[in-house]
Amino acid sequence: MNYIKSLHIEGFKKFQTLDVEFNEHMNILVGENEAGKSTILDAIKTVLNQQYRLADKSVLRDLFNAQMVEAFEANPSVKTLPRILIEVELVLDPKTKNADYFYGEVYGTLKKQDEKFGIRFECKYDELLGAGMEQSILEKKIPYEYYALTWMTFANNPYQTIRRPLQFLAIDTTSNATTPSFNSYNRTLFTSRYDEATRAKAKNDFRTKLVEAFDAAELPELGDNRKFGVDTKKVVLETILSVYEGAIALENRGSGMESLIKTEIALEKANGLDVILMEEPENHLSFTTLRKMLHEISIKQKDSQIIVATHNNMIASRLNLNNVLWITESVVKSLSGVDKDVAEFFVKADDNAFLQLLLSNKVFLVEGATEFLLLPHFYKQITGKTIEEDGISVISCNGISYKNYLEIAQKTSKKICVITDNDGKQNRIDKATTFNKTTTLQHIFLGTTTDDWTWEACLYNLNKTVLDGMIEVQAGADYLFHKKDYGQVLGKMLNNKVEVAYKMLLSKIAFEVPQYIKDAIEWLRK
């Protein structure tokens, strides 16, 4: 199988330097807004598709890394002018057509490395072409028109897309310019689906029959032996091709179905695509359609290398977080080392918040909906600030599944505070105490006695008078919880947790907050 092994970037858009190691099959790029997910995809397209080759040099203003431009302006000279280097290392079957054309030495870090398959893109100032521009450069002016853009293989051969070493397709749902997107998609699919001889015959037959059809119209001459005719040099079959489903062209379907159908077609093994880039495939998709797309990807991903950039939690978790490449602070971190069972948990767990955990600065992990509702209220009551102001997220883990979240947290260097129940078990209290002694970034907080066995019991013990007056109970009614009698009011709280929590929230009362909750808030704020 042919695929992209790694990417090296210097001076391109978001990144001064960046290195990415890709998985052979599935890659899920995640990160905050502006983290650089799109930049990574754009870098790949810049190399493989020779993107920007025919663009006006003014586009370089948007391509150069801002920090490198600032460094030049602080110390203007020919040597400090911004430049771009992008290298794509490939894994190619040596039997692949033109494979030797791409095999040679790579200089990604300006040091000679082992011979590899790959393509190198450079954008740098051409001193010979720019002779006489020295004074302008000293005046902090970047001479964009005197930059040279070159694409070379690692064998130091000129690279042209006609000799592309692998079949490559990009599906972008973020652009409003649908026509160019479709044209590129249709052209790439046509090229990958049929061999050169089949394509040549189709194009020749098309031109011939087009001329015949026009001539058959027998339009009157214009006079002086002049008439209309078809200039076959202007007829490029690839520019007018569309993919049809029945009688409807793909570009005439709704945006959601368009994205789904594009993906389904791209994943067909018969179309022979080696690498598929997908930018935010969740755009325009309903929940049901997204699930269908994920099913298609999950069962067919081994036939191609897929690189997905997404903000969607379902995509990141359902396609297995072991495939996640997390972009943070201009570094790409792989989650391939997360325990396989934990990864499988997030594949199957409904409504998990894996991506929220990954992209948050600080996190409260809580047991359920009641804590999720009330904790922000208690936080504001104690600190005078909202959790949003302090950059904190609250994630409901539904029981003890917080252990799966902690497994991820330990790979992230994030500060994670777990608020949980001890369930009346001293061993849970002891285990939490031991855990807290062994970690600095993750701590577990829970009631310190078996009497404070759950969130509701702690609140009731501290606010008995207020809650007895607030919560209505029926005279003589039993409110047993797990067949145990905890009294009517606490029993109703335990049996109607969300309802009671919401009523407490709406009351605007400053309830007494359990000490372990206060301790948790204080610890996370440090």
pLDDT per residue, tens digit, the chain (526 aa), is: 899 999 999 999 999 999 999 999 999 999 988 899 999 999 999 999 998 998 899 999 999 999 999 999 999 999 999 999 999 999 999 888 888 999 987 654 445 567 899 999 999 999 998 888 999 999 999 999 999 999 999 999 999 988 889 988 888 776 654 555 566 777 777 887 888 889 889 988 888 888 888 889 888 888 888 888 888 888 788 888 888 877 777 677 666 666 777 777 778 876 778 999 998 888 877 888 888 888 888 887 788 999 999 998 888 898 999 999 999 988 999 999 999 999 998 888 877 888 888 889 899 999 988 999 999 999 999 999 999 999 999 999 876 678 889 888 888 888 999 999 999 999 999 999 999 999 999 999 999 999 999 999 999 999 999 999 999 999 989 899 999 999 999 999 999 999 999 999 999 899 999 999 999 999 999 9
Tell me the C-alpha distance between 314 and 12, whole Å.
Answer: 30
Of 126, 150, 166, which residue constitutes the final position of a domain?
Answer: 166
One domain for residues 136 and 68:
yes
Type of residue numbered 405: Y
Helix (H) or strand (E) holding 168: strand 168-172
Q: If 0-12 CB within 10 Å is exposed, 13-18 middle and 19+ buried, where does residue 166 land?
A: buried
One domain for residues 385 and 425:
yes
pTM metric for this prediction: 0.82
One domain for residues 262 and 300:
yes
Tell me the C-alpha distance between 30 and 309, whole Å.
Answer: 6
One domain for residues 428 and 415:
yes
List of residues 6+ apart from 418 with CB closer than 8 A: 365, 402, 406, 442, 443, 444, 445
One domain for residues 77 and 152:
yes
CB 308 within 8 A of CB 28: yes
The pLDDT value given to residue 242: 82
Domains contained in the chain, number: 3
Of 121, 138, 166, which residue constitutes the final position of a domain?
Answer: 166
DSSP three-state, residue 275: strand
Number of C-beta neighbours around residue 512 at 10 A: 13
Structural domain boundaries, residue 247: 170-311
Tell me the C-alpha distance between 210 and 217, whole Å.
Answer: 11
The pLDDT value given to residue 64: 97
Domain membership of residue 423 (yes or no) is yes
Helix (H) or strand (E) holding 153: strand 147-153
Strand partners, 25: none
Give the neighbor-by-neighbor strand order of the sheet with 362-366: 392-396, 362-366, 415-419, 442-445
The pLDDT value given to residue 180: 55
One domain for residues 216 and 278:
yes
Domain membership of residue 332 (yes or no) is no
One domain for residues 150 and 179:
no
> pLDDT tens digits, residue range 430-457?
999 999 999 999 999 999 999 999 999 9
The pLDDT value given to residue 177: 47
E-strand spans in 13-146?
15-21, 26-30, 84-91, 103-105, 115-125
One domain for residues 206 and 147:
no
Strand partners, 223: 226
Domain membership of residue 345 (yes or no) is no
One domain for residues 107 and 34:
yes
Domain membership of residue 456 (yes or no) is yes
One domain for residues 257 and 391:
no
Of 289, 311, 333, which residue constitutes the final position of a domain?
Answer: 311
Q: If 0-12 CB within 10 Å is exposed, 13-18 middle and 19+ buried, where does residue 201 land?
A: exposed
> pLDDT tens digits, residue range 181-225?
566 777 777 887 888 889 889 988 888 888 888 889 888 888 888
One domain for residues 407 and 474:
yes
CB 382 within 8 A of CB 434: no
Tell me the C-alpha distance between 373 and 339, whole Å.
Answer: 31
The pLDDT value given to residue 253: 67
The pLDDT value given to residue 112: 56
One domain for residues 512 and 366:
yes
